[in-house]
Amino acid sequence: MLRILVCVSGGGTNLQAIIDGIANGTITNTEIVRVISNNKKAYALERAKNAGIDAACVSPKDYADREQFNEAFLQAVTEAEPDLIVLAGFLVVIPEKMIKAYPNQIINIHPSLIPSFCGTGYYGLKVHEGALERGVKVTGATVHFVDEGTDTGPIILQKAVAVEEGDTPEILQKRVMEQAEWQIMPRAIDLIANGKVSVKNGKVWLSE
Ligand code: GAR
């Protein structure tokens, strides 16, 4: 059984896709051991509680400085003894110490086709605003391993989604979630849980 810990900040629709995927067998060999939010008000925490999953909030607001928050966050992660940490809309920069402690054991979902519209400043709706401003005809989502950079780690899965005339950032965000994120995140976890993902020379190799 792959023990996964899911980090969230907001609505938690990707968390819900993982919970549903485990329940309906799309994701096999996997259990969610804990959900951590940096935001007390995140609806994702409700989703975790409704599914009977251990849920904790570790908020920077409760600590004197970033270092103390990072320590508390890392402790809340390690005590759950996860095999894989899943960033599902987690808007906190992962401490370097944690990245070193979990090499190729942290994955993130990003709502664009990396390397477009990613890196510092590109998160949530801002990604879709950027895509619409540039006028791209195709966007999508990416699941990747987390390394020391921002959205620079080895890419596991990507899925393209069409941009349509009249799209607003909100409409495009919803289409990218429905057609890409909620599919490739569960798929990536299932592949990892079944030993089908390896990283060589900074690139991911999948065996089916
Ligand atoms: C998702 O669109 C996810 O791809 C994005 O935040 C949203 C969270 O939604 N993540 C990033 O932008 C990371 N850079 P959710 O809470 O409903 O899953």
Residue 125 CA to residue 128 CA, distance in Å, equals 5
User: Pocket of ligand 1, candidates 9, 14, 122, 127: which has the most ligand atoms within 8 Å of its Cβ, to mutate?
Assistant: 14
- State residue 148's pLDDT score: 95
- State residue 208's pLDDT score: 73
Phi, psi of 97, rounded to the nearest 5 degrees: -60, -40
Identify the residue whose C-alpha is closest to ligand 1 atom 8: 89
Whether residue 203 lies inside any domain: the answer is no
Tokens of 142: 């990416």
Q: Which residues line ligand 1 (CB under 6 A)?
A: 8, 10-14, 44, 88-89, 109-111, 123-124, 127, 177, 181
Whether residue 207 lies inside any domain: the answer is no
Would you name the residues annotated as active-site residues?
Answer: 110
What CATH code is carried by the domain that includes residue 101? 3.40.50.170
Identify the residue whose C-alpha is closest to ligand 1 atom 3: 89
Whether residue 76 lies inside any domain: the answer is yes
Q: How far is the CA of 44 from the centre of ligand 1 (A)?
A: 11
CB-CB neighbours of 126 under 10 Å: 13
Whether residue 70 lies inside any domain: the answer is yes
Residue 187 CA to residue 143 CA, distance in Å, equals 10
Start-to-end CA distance of the chain, whole Å, equals 19
Whether residue 90 lies inside any domain: the answer is yes
- State residue 141's pLDDT score: 98
Give the chain's domain count: 1
> Which mean pLDDT values do the consecutive 10-residue runs of the chain (208 residues) have?
98 98 98 98 98 98 97 98 98 95 98 97 97 98 97 98 98 98 98 98 93
Domain containing 45 equals 2-197
Q: Is the peptide bond before 82 cis (omega within 30 degrees of 0)?
A: no
Whether residue 113 lies inside any domain: the answer is yes
Whether residue 144 lies inside any domain: the answer is yes
* DSSP conformational letter for 208: -
Whether residue 205 lies inside any domain: the answer is no
Q: Is 74 within 8 Å of 97 (Cβ atoms)? A: yes
Q: Which residues contact 94 (CB under 8 A, 6 or more apart)?
A: 87, 106, 146
